[in-house]
């Protein structure tokens, strides 16, 4: 009897009969863009895709092309390749490795995360000696990538640490920042002059693209954004109009802001990391125009020096506050306190997602830990719902 | 003939009752069967309950080929030995003409029998079938029932609108050809 029943069932075997493991095997090999599209197929597909690639992660799918300070090509690094391009086909990472070949930089090639083929870039009109800065884009926001490079000589980041003031003085004299922007749409390099701030520091990594807008650190107390493309203007991320060369958004920061670190982006957030990795600041770029921002002080992170990028984002999912953590070190725990400073519990940073409901209970045996404030203040408390008023602490 | 009788034979029964007799070496390509044979718990017919006869035939074809390759590659300078390219071409040929439902059954079978190579072939084929498709095409191809209400589907579509956009660069290149 059993085989007969099997047969009639098997006769209608279709993709929906595959168990989730098999379906995941297939989905993991598909490009990210297609996966987004396939969410519409059915509820099961939607659940599978969103569970494997949670929206927080998908949102951070901004890959970037890295160039080191000597103009060497670092390759394409997907921001969260561990999530998006799981081991079977981490094609982008392979390419990144291949590009580190010393013979490679003669001709640049970029990898497009949406379609995966490698697109050769045009010949470099300035030889191999020009200073590339960054390529950064989020394929969820725009299909087109842009590469910008500075036509000025940039200084070596290692010198910068030693003689940062000297370097700044040297760079102050530059009234304009000369950039060339390569758009994947037009396939051409376009020269742009961008107004510097009053105390301009133009260092590699200081200019970056996020969702089609360009951000540049121009003053220890300001972050200025630029937008330079009509296509991106519809995304409402236009802190500054390059043609008018006026600053729109100015973010005041406190005294600890050294002005010699680098800006980076992560999932719609703009980060500032000081050169020694001691201080991290995070701006929420979607609120950029409203001058709302969040700042994270990590003043006492000396122990964790070397781990430059650490960031916590939090979202509310179903009434739960979910903290996600990136660039964490294995030797600390996240401790959550409520508004009055009472310990709510702790969680291990080995998990990237922290739900308040899943926290470990806090007991006496933990009292030996030294508490370090990790997220002491939010600048606009009125905007933050009650559920968000927990403060994560780091324990060493 | 005399050669095959020397070898130990294994009998496999598909879900619809058909019995296949294969050499032990062929059966051992499947890791699940290998484990069973090594533990000597497969004296009689091995029932493979989730695989139908036509699928099992295909699986056995694959296993036989694997055995042929491995036995021939042990002797040096063998003309049967395949390069990477030939292997790819062979895999494509093997999967040629396989429709989506057979493919799904093949995947289930190779997963059950733990044949990594066949599973990879199947997944590759499936990926090539899905590549570049739109949701409706997927539903048609695999008979997936759309259990979204039109509003729900519209919402998900709007959330992921960027994924439905045509790639302008891609279009430009293909039209210029």
C-alpha pair distances (Å), A169 with each of A172, A173, A275 = 5, 7, 18
**Contacts B107 to A, Cβ<8 Å:** 18, 22
Residue in B with minimal Cα distance to A185: B169
Please write the tens of the pLDDT for every residue from A41-92: 888 888 777 655 543 333 223 333 333 222 223 333 333 322 222 222 223 3
Mean pLDDT of chain A: 43
- d(CA B46, CA B56) in angstroms, rounded, equals 13
Q: Hey, are the CB atoms on B142 and A45 less than 8 Å from each other? A: no
With a pLDDT cut of 90, the percent of chain A lying above it is 0
Element spanning B130, H or E:
helix B116-130
CA distance A82 to A93: 10
Closest alpha carbon within chain B to A35: B163
How much is the pLDDT for B78?
52
Burial B142-164 (b: 16+ CB within 10 A, else e): bebebebeeeebeebbeebebbe
| Cα A330-A335-A336 angle, rounded to 5 deg | 145
Of the partner residues B101, B127, B138, the one whose CB lies closest to the CB of residue A41 = B138
The per-residue pLDDT for A8 is 37
Is A22 at the interface with chain B, CB within 8 A? yes
Give contacts of B108 with chain A, Cβ < 8 Å. Answer: 13, 17-19, 22
A137 contact residues in B (CB cutoff 8 A): none
SS3 A76: strand
* Lowest-pLDDT range of A133-147, A266-280, A304-318, B162-176: A304-318
Q: Round to whole Å and give the CA distance between A98 and A94.
A: 6
DSSP A196-254: --TT----TTSEEEETTEEEEEEETTEEEEEE--HHHHTTT--S-BTTTTB--------
Say whether pLDDT at A104 is over 70: no
Residue B173: list chain A partners with CB under 8 A: none
Cβ distance B101 to A3 less than 8 Å, yes or no, reads no
Residue B141 reports pLDDT greater than 80: yes
pLDDT of residue B107 exceeding 50, the answer is yes
pLDDT surpassing 60 at residue A269: no
With H, G, I as helix, E, B as strand and everything else as coil, classify residue A291. Answer: coil
Inter-axis angle of helices B100-113 and B31-38, to 10 degrees?
Answer: 30
Please give the interface size between A and B, counted as residue pairs whose CB atoms are below 8 Å apart: 124
- Provide, as residue numbers in chain A, all residues whose Cβ is less than 8 Å from the Cβ of B147: 42-44
Higher pLDDT, B55 or A316: B55
B165 in contact with A, Cβ within 8 Å: yes
Instruction: Give A3-8's long-range contacts (Cβ < 8 A, gap of 24+).
Output: A3/B15, A3/B16, A3/B17, A3/B49, A4/B16, A6/B15, A6/B16, A6/B49, A6/B50, A6/B52, A7/B15, A7/B16, A7/B52
Candidate from A368-377, B49-58, B100-109 with smallest mean pLDDT: A368-377
Secondary structure, 3-state, B30-82: CHHHHHHHHCCCCCCCEECCCCCHHHHHHHHHHHHHHHHHHHHHHCCCCCCCC
- A120: which strand partners? A109
CB–CB contact A141 B15 (8 Å): no
Q: Give the A window 261-300 contacts with B, CB below 8 Å.
A: none
| Minimum distance, in Å, between the CA of residue B2 and any CA atom of chain A | 34
More confident residue, B20 or A128: B20
Provide the 3-class DSSP secondary structure of residue A43.
helix
pLDDT-wise least confident of A12-16, A216-220, A281-285, B20-24: A281-285
Question: What is the reported pTM?
Answer: 0.43
- Cβ B163 vs Cβ A37: under 8 Å: yes
Give residues 120 to 159 of B whose Cβ lies within 8 Å of A: 123-124, 126-127, 130-135, 138-139, 142-148, 153, 156-157
CB–CB of A258/A299 below 8 Å?
no
Band of pLDDT at residue B114, cut at 50, 70 and 90: confident
β-pair partners for A246: A241
Residue B95: its chain A contacts at CB < 8 A? none
Q: Which of A209, A241, A216, A244 is nearest to A227 (CA)?
A: A241
Q: Which helix (H) or strand (E) holds A270?
A: strand A269-273
Inter-chain touch B135–A7, beta carbons under 8 Å: no
pLDDT at position A30: 72
ipTM higher than the 0.85 cut: no
Q: Contact at 8 Å (CB) between A167 and A152?
A: no
| CB pair distance less than 8 Å for B162 and A143 | yes
Q: Which long-range contacts (CB under 8 A, 24 or more apart) does A282-286 make?
A: A282/A311, A283/A223, A283/A251, A285/A210, A285/A211, A285/A213, A285/A237, A286/A237
What secondary structure letter does DSSP report for A156? P
pLDDT of residue A62: 32
Note which residues in 180-219 of chain A have CB less than 8 A from chain B.
Answer: 184-185, 187
Give residue B168's Cα distance to chain centre: 35
Residues A291 and A155: their CA atoms lie apart, in Å, by 31
In the 8-state DSSP scheme, what is residue A295? -
Tell me the percentage of chain B whose pLDDT exceeds 90.
Answer: 0
- Distance from the first to the final alpha carbon of chain A: 63
Cβ separation of B167 and A14 shorter than 8 Å? no
Residue A45 forms contact with B (CB below 8 Å):
yes
Quick one: DSSP state of residue A360? B
Contact check, Cβ <8 Å, A40/B101: no
CA distance B83 to chain A (A): 21
Note the pLDDT of residue A51.
59
How far away is chain A from the Cα of B97, in angstroms, using its nearest Cα?
Answer: 16
Structure tokens at B132: 């570049």
| pLDDT value, residue B40 | 67
pLDDT (0 to 100) of residue B98: 83
For residue B51, the model assigns a pLDDT of 83
Q: Determine contact, residues A127/A164, Cβ cutoff 8 Å.
A: no
Mean pLDDT of A216-223: 48
Q: Give B145's pLDDT tier (boundaries 50, 70, 90).
A: confident
**Gap between the Cα atoms of B96 and A280, Å rounded:** 55
What is the reported pLDDT for A28? Answer: 67
Taking an 8 Å cut-off on Cβ atoms, the answer to whether B169 and A12 are in contact is no
| pLDDT band at A129; cut points 50, 70, 90 | very low
pLDDT at B2: 42
Residue A21 touches chain B, beta carbons under 8 Å? yes
Strand-strand pairing, A391-395 and A371-373: antiparallel
Whether A143 sits inside 8 A of B165 (CB atoms) is yes
Search chain B and give the residue with CA nearest A116. Answer: B170
At a CB cut-off of 8 Å and minimum separation 6, what does A117 contact?
A111
Best residue in B18, B53, B121, B127 for a mutation probing chain A (most A CBs within 10 Å)? B127
Q: Which residues of B are less than 8 Å from A16 in CB distance? A: 142-145
């Amino acid at each position: 009897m059993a085989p007969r029943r099997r047969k009639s069932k098997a006769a209608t075997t279709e993709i929906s009969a595959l168990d989730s493991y098999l379906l995941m095997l297939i989905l993991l090999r598909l490009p990210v863009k297609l996966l987004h599209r396939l969410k519409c197929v059915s509820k099961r597909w939607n659940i599978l895709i969103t569970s494997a690639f949670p929206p927080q992660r998908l949102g951070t799918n901004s890959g970037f092309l890295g160039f080191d300070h000597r103009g060497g090509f670092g390759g394409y690094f997907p921001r969260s390749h561990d999530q998006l391009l799981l081991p079977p086909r981490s094609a982008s990472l392979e390419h990144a490795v291949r590009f580190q070949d010393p013979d490679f930089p003669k001709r640049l090639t970029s990898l497009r995360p949406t379609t995966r083929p490698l697109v050769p870039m045009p010949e470099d009109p300035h030889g191999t000696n020009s200073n590339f800065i960054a390529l950064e884009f989020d394929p969820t926001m725009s299909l087109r990538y842009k590469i910008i490079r500075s036509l000025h000589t940039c200084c070596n980041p290692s010198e910068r640490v030693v003689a940062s003031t000297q370097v700044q003085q040297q760079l102050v004299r530059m009234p304009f920042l000369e950039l060339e922007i390569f758009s994947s749409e037009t396939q051409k390099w376009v020269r742009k002059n961008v107004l510097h701030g009053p105390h301009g520091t133009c260092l590699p990594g200081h200019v970056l693209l996020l969702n089609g807008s360009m951000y540049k650190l121009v003053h220890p107390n300001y972050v200025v954004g630029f937008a330079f493309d009509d296509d991106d203007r519809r995304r409402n991320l236009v802190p500054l109009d390059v043609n008018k060369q006026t600053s729109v958004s100015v973010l005041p920061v406190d005294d600890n802001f050294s002005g010699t670190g680098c800006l980076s982006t992560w999932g719609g957030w703009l980060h500032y990391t000081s050169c020694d990795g001691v201080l991290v600041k995070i701006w929420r770029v979607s609120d950029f125009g409203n001058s709302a921002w969040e700042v994270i002080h990590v003043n006492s992170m000396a122990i964790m020096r070397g781990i430059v990028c650490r960031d916590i984002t939090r979202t509310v999912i179903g009434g739960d506050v979910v903290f996600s953590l990136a660039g964490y070190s294995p030797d600390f725990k996240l401790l959550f306190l409520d508004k009055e400073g009472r310990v709510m519990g702790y969680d291990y940073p080995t998990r990237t997602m922290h739900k308040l409901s899943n926290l470990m209970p806090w007991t006496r045996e933990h009292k030996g830990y030294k508490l370090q404030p990790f997220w002491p203040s939010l600048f606009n408390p009125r905007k933050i719902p009650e559920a968000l008023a927990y403060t994560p602490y780091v324990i060493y | 003939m005399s050669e095959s009788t020397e070898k130990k034979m294994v009998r496999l029964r598909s879900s619809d009752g058909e019995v296949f007799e294969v050499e032990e070496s062929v059966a051992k390509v499947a890791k699940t069967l290998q484990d069973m044979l090594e533990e000597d718990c497969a004296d009689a017919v091995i029932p493979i309950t989730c695989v139908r006869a036509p699928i099992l035939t295909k699986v056995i074809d694959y296993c036989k080929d694997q055995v042929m390759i491995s036995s021939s590659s042990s002797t040096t300078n063998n003309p049967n030995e395949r390069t990477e390219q030939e292997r790819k071409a062979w895999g494509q040929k093997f999967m040629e003409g396989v429709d989506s439902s057979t493919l799904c059954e093949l995947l289930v079978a190779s997963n059950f029998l733990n044949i990594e190579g066949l599973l990879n072939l199947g997944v590759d084929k499936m990926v090539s079938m899905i590549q570049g498709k739109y949701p409706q095409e997927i539903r048609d191809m695999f008979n997936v029932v759309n259990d979204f209400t039109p509003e729900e589907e519209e919402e998900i579509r709007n959330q992921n609108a960027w994924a439905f956009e045509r790639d302008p660069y891609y279009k430009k290149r293909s039209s210029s050809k």
